Amino acid sequence: MGPGPISVDPRVLRAMAAPLVGQFDPFMTATMNEVMALYRDVFATGNEQTFLVDGTARAGIEAALVSLIEPGDRVLVPVFGRFGHLLTEIAGRCGAEVHTIEVPWGEVFTADRVADAVRRVRPKVLALVQGDTSTTMCQPLAEIGAICAEHDVLFYCDATASLGGNEFRTDAWGLDVVTAGLQKCLGGPSGSAPVTLSPRAVAVVEGRRHVEAGLREPDDEAADEETAGRVIASNYFDLAMVMDYWGPRRLNHHTEATSMLYAARECARLLLAEGMDAAVARHARHGAAMLAGVRGLGLGVFGDTAHKMNNVVAVEIPEKLGPAGGDAVRASLLEDFGIEIGTSFGPLHSKVWRIGTMGYNARKDAVLTTLAALEHALRAVGVAVPAGGGVTAAQESYRDADRAADGLAHGAPDGVLA
């Protein structure tokens, strides 16, 4: 029940045990095409170039940034948590001139603040995290695409921690490149990074196209000369090459990680069978119950809860416990109850626990069991907690949500059935 990686859906685990075929077997290439189509729906996009990078979510981020950024390009990163810092790190290693704006941890940016910075910095790329698990905040994105379009800025988003559990609209929000991972709301294991690129982003990446020695044909030599000096600094993360491998040319690059491809396919199939809106509603429902539950135990919650991600909550460690007491509670949950919750990074280290309700763990039994165990673990270290306070508050949250849904289903005004 941490902030991810999470327990994997058993159907995804089973999918990974399927036998493999060769990388150019018609079943394999058909499966790759199927995965592209599935992730278009997951990302809510019509982008042809929607595929997997073989590595963890961080590999997807680096592939996106190193393929877009040339040394000296200006990149703007609004930082509202640890994963914003990560974007500055990666952009910096790509040779970018990195500009940042920051808000205190626990807050998000207004669109105006981002617009001002875009006008001032005039970046080539705006790189922004949607959901930063380090603070649990979910950055609103809907108004930022228009700002980027107006100033001809490429809009990149790291949606690793949020996709599937919070509303996400690649095309409607004007995003150019989005990357994710399986190990959060998608219910899978770490190790595969779904990505999508708009036609505008594809044009930028294709402008740096290069076919590797040993595979080159005469036309490629000519194209190479045009892009000389602008070649992408990584071979593995060269998205122009990765697109040639996923596309009709099927030009050999890496050897696709087939078991992870099967996992990614099953994650998307399950999510789309449920429906993306229904999956987001499920995360909202269980996230609200967990939030109510920890408050019902008398615990404080960190940050601006109006902008909290549905799938994770940062719970303030009671001050009297101190860092050692906070660790003792986590250890008791793990050792006595077999439940893992997260610690935290940077300014929140030893200040909050992070409890996730995402992917396969966004379930009522997981929420109630965690709250029951947390009650015992807190009492064991001397924190006064109301008996049953967590479970009862979560159950009320579920009942309220059911009544509201029932009311909506019957067209009755709010509260009539209460």
Q: What sign does the CA torsion over 389, 390, 392, 394 have?
A: positive
**CA Rg value for the chain:** 23
Question: 354: annotated binding-site residue?
Answer: yes
Cα(18)–Cα(350) distance, integer angstroms: 42
Q: 16 or 146, CB closer to a second copy?
A: 16
Question: Considering the complex, what minimum distance in angstroms separates the CB of residue 258 from a second copy?
Answer: 6
Q: 2 or 303, CB closer to a second copy?
A: 2
Question: Considering the complex, what minimum distance in angstroms separates the CB of residue 378 from a second copy?
Answer: 20
Question: Considering the complex, what minimum distance in angstroms separates the CB of residue 151 from a second copy?
Answer: 26
Question: Considering the complex, what minimum distance in angstroms separates the CB of residue 199 from a second copy?
Answer: 26
Cα(283)–Cα(185) distance, integer angstroms: 8
Q: 173 or 262, CB closer to a second copy?
A: 262
Cα(182)–Cα(267) distance, integer angstroms: 7
In sequence order, what are the residues at sequence separation of 6 or more whose Cβ sits closer than 8 angstroms to the Cβ of residue 397? Answer: 288, 289, 291, 292, 293
Q: Which residues contact a second copy by CB under 8 A?
A: 2, 4-8, 13-14, 16-23, 25, 54-59, 62, 66, 82-83, 85-86, 88-90, 93, 134, 181, 183, 189-191, 212-215, 231-237, 252-260, 263, 334, 340, 342, 345-346
Q: 82 or 124, CB closer to a second copy?
A: 82
Question: Considering the complex, what minimum distance in angstroms separates the CB of residue 390 from a second copy?
Answer: 21
In sequence order, what are the residues at sequence separation of 6 or more whose Cβ sits closer than 8 angstroms to the Cβ of residue 134? Answer: 81, 82, 83, 105, 344, 345, 346, 348
The first and second tokens of residue 117, run together, are 């910075």
Q: 114 or 182, CB closer to a second copy?
A: 182
Binding site feature residues: 354
Binding site feature residues for substrate: 354
